[in-house]
């Protein structure tokens, strides 16, 4: 195996040369290329009606899936937004480009390696107008979120106004939905008894404490049921917003010329979801609807297709370029996952968790169609590890801490409160909630899967130059502890512990 430092020495010159030399090539087609609309959900997994989730109302997304392609095995490369977004906006793993730590490189002058460029810059070079839309018809439909771990590459968008799109075609527009998210950006969360969800009062109240069935790794408790219902209702709320966007696209006469891609940036906004590289933190919805006037997909993926193909959100970059007639550059880690020029199907989807906020925990993950392998590089870390945002906003976490102290937890909820083992293996087909760790199973099938996924992860980390082993200095981490304490407060149990918390 090539040591990581030596690997990077030869990786980047070759990689940079190929990315720079292979400039995007315009389509040879005479017609204007199609528009491209990304609708990006925040923090939810495949919890839509079309994926079989109960107690949600997602008619607009369900209809979009009927008119397009729905992917059952799509995975983020990180269980948190900024590293995940940095990956799919560049077409390069965040662990390769040093954008893997949450909200890193905001004030240190960091620049991307030469030849690695944001998607919107490549689209601008090909004549695309770019927008990160916030308002539509006087209503808020997007947050304008960037949250990228690179900030010195120049302006990424031309506009934030939907009304600019009609007169600036072809366009690439990204709309980042407010759901699902806690209402935290007034930075006064520490003062509140309970932090509400964005749009909580207006979301359809389809899921209730009485009718939901939370995952079995949580205790059956009113707080658990209430929070699970709020999460599901936020998904229903997001669908209403998607409906407004699609209806306006139709009203403006642009629907037939626009490819629509809907996905979420990472998994569920729940205690065991976001931040953790379990399936619930990585598996995301992904729906692609072709532009009727262009029919990039009709021959290979007709409307209503449900695909079991393994897809990484990394692949959004190359696929989006191809869909609008631009050749993805050689050396880009992203690959085209649909259409007549689709690359080979991925056998594996890889993900990484590194520092998130003030919490330094390093984990790596690899999925195939059935099995999921997780490796923990931080002994002693686990669900209970302090993260002030999660302690304040995710009421299930302090609840479980309290129930454990009272001796009222058993089974999977109690097991979740133990430090993570070094290795975890789950059969997501028979155990979608990932409560049975098979890493020590004597089954030949499980041992074969473990060996295969171990090797795949080792190879990926070397081949992509995973920089996660280079931990940030204490001087970088300490300000995050101070910021998170001011923003969310520090729970009493953690106030007397080591300053490293």
pLDDT of residue 139: 87
What is the helix (H) or strand (E) element at residue 160, kind and residue range? strand 159-161
Residue 451's CB: how many other CB atoms inside 10 A? 11
Evaluate if residue 303 carries a pLDDT over 80.
yes
Strands 258-264 and 35-41: parallel
Q: What's the mean pLDDT in 132-153?
A: 94
pLDDT of residue 30: 42
Percent of the chain with pLDDT over 70: 93
Q: What's the mean pLDDT in 230-249?
A: 98
- Calculate helix-pair angle for 222-251, 59-66, nearest 10 degrees: 60
Evaluate if residue 360 carries a pLDDT over 90.
yes
C-beta of residue 95 within 8 angstroms of C-beta of residue 468: yes
pLDDT band, very low/low/confident/very high, at 465 (cuts 50, 70, 90): very high
**Distance separating alpha carbons of residues 450 and 447, to the nearest angstrom:** 5
Q: What's the mean pLDDT in 470-486?
A: 97
C-beta of residue 83 within 8 angstroms of C-beta of residue 99: yes
User: Can you state the percent helix, strand and coil of the chain, rounding each to 5?
Assistant: 35, 15, 50
Q: Residue 324's closest CA among 73, 124, 64, 99?
A: 124
Fold type of domain 33-490 = Alkaline Phosphatase, subunit A (3.40.720)
Evaluate if residue 3 carries a pLDDT over 60.
no
Digit-coded pLDDT (tens) for 395-411:
999 999 999 999 999 99
Digit-coded pLDDT (tens) for 181-194:
999 999 999 999 99
C-beta of residue 395 within 8 angstroms of C-beta of residue 229: no
C-beta of residue 397 within 8 angstroms of C-beta of residue 388: no
Q: What's the mean pLDDT in 476-488?
A: 97
Instruction: Show the 3-state SS of 339-388.
Output: CCCCCCCCCCEEEEECCECCECCCEEEEECCCEEEEEECCCCCCCCCCCH
Q: What's the mean pLDDT in 185-204?
A: 96
pLDDT band, very low/low/confident/very high, at 19 (cuts 50, 70, 90): low
Evaluate if residue 203 carries a pLDDT over 90.
yes
Q: What's the mean pLDDT in 38-50?
A: 97
pLDDT band, very low/low/confident/very high, at 23 (cuts 50, 70, 90): very low
pLDDT of residue 31: 77
Token pair, residue 411, equals 């089974």
In sequence order, the β-bridge partners of residue 75 are 283, 312
Q: Residue 319's closest CA among 333, 306, 330, 334?
A: 334
Evaluate if residue 11 carries a pLDDT over 80.
no
What is the helix (H) or strand (E) element at residue 283, kind and residue range? strand 283-289
Digit-coded pLDDT (tens) for 90-102:
999 999 999 999 9
């Amino acid at each position: 195996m090539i040591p990581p430092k030596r690997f990077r020495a030869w990786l980047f010159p070759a990689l940079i040369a190929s990315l720079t030399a292979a400039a995007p090539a315009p389509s040879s087609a005479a017609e204007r290329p199609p528009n491209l609309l990304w609708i990006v959900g925040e923090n939810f997994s495949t919890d839509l009606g079309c994926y079989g989730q109960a107690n949600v109302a997602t008619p607009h997304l369900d209809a979009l899936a009927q008119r397009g392609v729905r992917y059952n095995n799509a995975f983020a490369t990180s269980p948190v937004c900024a590293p995940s977004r940095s990956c799919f906006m560049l077409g390069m793993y965040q662990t390769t480009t040093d954008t893997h730590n949450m909200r890193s490189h905001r004030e240190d002058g960091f620049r991307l390696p030469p030849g690695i460029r944001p998607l919107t810059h490549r689209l601008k070079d090909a004549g695309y107008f770019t927008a990160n839309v916030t308002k539509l018809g006087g209503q808020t439909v997007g947050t304008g979120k960037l949250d990228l771990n690179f900030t010195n590459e120049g302006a990424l968008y031309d506009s934030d106004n939907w009304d600019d799109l009609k007169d600036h075609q072809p366009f690439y527009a990204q709309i980042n939905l407010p759901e699902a998210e806690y209402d935290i950006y007034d930075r006064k969360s520490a003062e509140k008894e309970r932090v509400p969800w964005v749009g909580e009062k207006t979301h359809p109240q389809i899921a209730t404490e009485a009718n939901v069935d939370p995952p079995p790794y949580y205790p059956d408790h009113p707080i658990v049921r209430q929070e699970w219902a709020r999460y599901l209702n936020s998904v229903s709320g997001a669908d209403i917003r998607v409906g407004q966007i699609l209806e306006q696209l139709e009203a403006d006469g642009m629907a037939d010329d626009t490819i629509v891609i809907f996905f979420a940036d990472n998994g569920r906004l729940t205690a065991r979801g976001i931040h953790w590289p379990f399936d619930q933190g990585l598996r995301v919805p992904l729906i692609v609807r072709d532009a009727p006037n262009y029919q990039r997909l009709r021959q290979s993926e007709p409307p209503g297709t449900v695909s079991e193909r393994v897809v990484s959100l990394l692949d959004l970059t190359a696929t989006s370029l191809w869909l609008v007639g631009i050749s993805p550059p050689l050396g880009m880690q992203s690959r085209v996952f649909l259409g007549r020029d689709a690359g080979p199907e991925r056998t594996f989807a890889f993900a990484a968790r590194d520092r998130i906020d003030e919490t330094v925990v390093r984990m790596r993950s690899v999925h195939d169609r059935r099995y999921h392998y997780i490796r923990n590089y931080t002994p002693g870390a686990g669900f209970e590890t302090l993260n002030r945002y999660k302690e304040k906003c995710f009421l299930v976490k302090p609840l479980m801490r309290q129930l454990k102290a009272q001796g009222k937890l058993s089974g999977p909820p109690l097991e979740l409160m133990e430090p993570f083992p070094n290795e975890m293996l789950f059969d997501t087909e028979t155990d979608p909630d990932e409560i049975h760790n098979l890493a020590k199973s004597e089954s030949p099938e499980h041992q074969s899967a473990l060996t295969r996924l171990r090797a795949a992860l080792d190879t990926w980390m070397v081949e992509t130059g995973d920089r996660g082993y280079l931990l940030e200095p204490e001087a970088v981490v300490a300000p995050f502890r101070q910021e998170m304490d001011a923003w969310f407060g520090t729970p009493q149990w953690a106030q007397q512990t080591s300053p490293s918390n």
